[in-house]
Structure 1
Amino acid sequence: MTIRWEAFLDQVRERGEYSTPEEAERCARVVLALLGAHLVGDVRTRLAARLPETLALVLLNPLQAAEPLSPERFVRATAAWIEGATEATALWDIGAVLSTVADAADDQLMEQVLLQLPPGYDVLFGRPDAVRRS
């Protein structure tokens, strides 16, 4: 089931303690664009189907990643794309967005998402206990 635009941004705004919906949207767009560059095929499409249409398009039309980013490099890349961000604030932004994405997806889909990503992303999604099968 797709989460509504307002509900998604409200969750991100609350979790990130942002003062405006625009700030929450800006962070969501950056994080989802970077995430979309790391997911492929049916998993990316199914995850996008759980998101509001505008953000689904961001996830589905990313810049292509030359190589998978480790969680640490993902944080650095996010910091580089968000004006005025530091690695600490980017980690906060990522947690606000990706935990909301994880809540929109079911456990099986999240497991498939995590299998496409380098180890350590489970923590960024707020799911440090997620089981990774090899």
Structure 2
Amino acid sequence: MTLRREAFLEQVKERGEYHTLQEAERAARVVLALLGAHLVGQVRAQLAARLPEDFALILLNPLQSAEPLSPERFVRATAAWIEGATEQTAAWDVSAVLSTAADAAGDELLEEILFQLPAGYDLLFGRPQHT
């Protein structure tokens, strides 16, 4: 089931403790654009299908990444794209957006998503995996 845009942004806003939906949207756009570069094929398409349409399009037309970024570098890249962000605020942004995306994805799809990503992303999605 696709999350409505308002519901998605409200969740990001609450988790990121943003003052406005605009701040939540800015974080969502950057994080999903970076995430999209790391996912391929059916997994990316399935996640996109569960996101509000404008965010699905961002995921499907990502910022290009030459190589998969480690979780630390993913946070750093997010900070670079968000005006006035620090690594600390970017970590907060990433977590707010990815945990909301994880809820939209559901457990089964999230497992497939994490399988395509470098180790450590489970924490960014707020779903620590037991090893």
Q: What range is the shorter-chain TM-score in? A: over 0.9
CA distance in 1, matches of 2:68, 2:87: 18
2: CA distance, partners of 1:108 / 1:14: 25
| Aligned pairs for 1:1-134 within 5 A | 1-129=1-129
Task: Give the aligned length.
Answer: 131
Q: Are the equivalent residues in 2 in contact too, given 1:122–1:130 (CA < 8 A)? A: no
RMSD in angstroms over aligned alpha carbons? 0.9
- Residue type at the aligned position of 1:72: E
5+ residue gaps, structure 1, are none
Provide the TM-score with structure 2 as the length reference: 0.98
The code of the aligned residue for 1:93 comes to D
Calculate percent identity across the aligned residue pairs.
76
- Per-residue deviation, 1:96: 0.4
Please list every run of at least 4 consecutive aligned residues from structure 1 whose deviation after the TM superposition is greater than 2 angstroms. none
Report the CA distance between 1:36 and its aligned residue.
0.2
| Counterparts of 2:84 and 2:76, CA distance in 1 | 13
3-state SS in 2 of match to 1:98: helix
Partner Cα separation in structure 1 for residue 91 and residue 64 of structure 2? 22
Match of 1:116, as an amino acid?
Answer: Q
CA distance in 2, matches of 1:64, 1:93: 20
CA distances 1:8-53 after superposition (whole Å, capped 9, x unpaired): 0000000001001000000000000000000000000000000000
Partner AA of 2:118 in structure 1: P
2:33 and 2:130 mapped to 1: Cα distance? 23
Task: Work out the CA distance in 2 between the residues paired with 1:63 and 1:12.
Answer: 21
TM superposition shift of 1:130: 5.9
Paired with 1:103 and 1:130, the residues of 2 have a C-alpha distance of 18
TM-score (norm 1): 0.96
State the shift of 1:64 in Å: 2.0
Structure 2: which 5+ residue stretches go unaligned? none
